[in-house]
């Protein structure tokens, strides 16, 4: 898929759509390409929305392997967004927040707060066990979601689709992500 700018006036106040280059990361000790439904879902919907899938990886729930993969993507001037699924709970080796939060230049507190508020309507009080988080690092948005496909759908449909669309008003992340990386 190429990075072409298209014009649309559908429901976002007009303006130009700007495709972003997005990497998808699945954090799991058990997932493979054959059964990674969450990573597959994210790859499909971001492309359906007009964005480019820059890379996709599955890494074990290991702080240092996870941090190394995300650091490489943060340093890549072609990657604007990293969508991470898995490792945000309290089970065994869940370590995504511990691995990635130290990499953030700025945390996006509202992502986890709003994700849990929306999830509460879907799964009730179980949402308090989600440590979903997001941050900006080197002009790259990193969004960390729970590993279930339902949680990824909740985040995409209710938060990410709009915030990754330059036409969404009054604000979105696109302007922060398309500036040259340091």
Over the Cα atoms of the chain, what is R_g?
Answer: 15
Q: Examine residue 93 and state whether it is found in any structural domain, yes or no.
A: yes
% the chain with pLDDT above 90: 87
pLDDT, averaged across the chain: 91
pLDDT confidence tier of residue 178, bands split at 50, 70 and 90:
confident
Please indicate, yes or no, if residue 8 is contained in any of the structural domains: no
Give yes or no for a contact between 142 and 82, defined as CB atoms under 8 angstroms apart. Answer: yes
* The pLDDT value given to residue 181: 75
Mean pLDDT of 51-76: 97
Q: What pLDDT is attached to residue 182?
A: 66
Check if the beta carbon of residue 93 is closer than 8 Å to that of residue 62.
Answer: yes
Predicted TM-score (pTM) of this structure: 0.90
| Residue 78 placed within a domain | yes
- Average pLDDT estimate for 85-93: 91
132 in a domain, yes or no?
A: yes
Give the DSSP per-residue string, 115-176.
Answer: HHHHHHHHHGGGGGG---EEEEETTEEEEEE-SSHHHHHHHIIIIIHHHT-TT-SS--SHHH
**Boundaries of domain holding 98:** 19-177
User: Does 154 map to a domain?
Assistant: yes
Q: How many folded domains does the chain comprise?
A: 1
What's the pLDDT score for residue 83?
98
Q: Domain of 60: which CATH number?
A: 3.40.980.10
- pLDDT for 92 equals 84
Q: Write out pLDDT tens, residues 90-140.
A: 988 899 999 999 999 999 999 999 999 999 999 999 999 999 999 999 999
Query: Does residue 134 form part of some domain?
Result: yes
Residue reference for tokens 């280059």: 21
Q: Is 170 a residue whose pLDDT tops 60?
A: yes
d(CA 3, CA 56): 18
Whether 8 and 17 have beta carbons less than 8 Å apart is answered as yes
Average pLDDT value for residue range 157-175: 95
Domain for residue 83, yes or no?
yes
Does residue 58 form part of some domain? yes
pLDDT on residue 3 = 39
């Amino acid at each position: 898929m190429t990075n072409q700018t298209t014009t649309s006036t559908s429901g976002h106040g007009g303006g130009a759509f700007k495709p972003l280059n997005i990497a998808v990361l699945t954090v799991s000790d058990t997932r493979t390409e054959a059964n990674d439904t969450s990573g597959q879902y994210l790859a499909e919907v971001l492309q359906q929305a007009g964005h480019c899938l820059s890379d996709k990886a599955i890494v074990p729930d290991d702080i240092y392997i996870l941090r190394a993969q995300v650091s490489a993507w943060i340093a890549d001037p072609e990657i604007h967004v990293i969508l991470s699924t898995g490792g945000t709970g309290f089970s065994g080796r869940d370590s995504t927040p511990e691995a990635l939060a130290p990499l953030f230049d700025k945390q996006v507190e509202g992502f986890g707060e709003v994700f849990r508020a929306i999830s509460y309507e879907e799964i009730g009080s179980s949402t308090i066990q989600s440590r979903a988080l997001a941050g900006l690092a080197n002009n790259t948005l990193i969004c960390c979601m729970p590993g279930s496909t339902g949680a990824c759908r909740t985040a995409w449909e209710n938060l990410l689709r709009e915030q990754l669309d330059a036409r969404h008003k009054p604000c979105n992340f696109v302007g922060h992500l398309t500036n040259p990386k340091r």
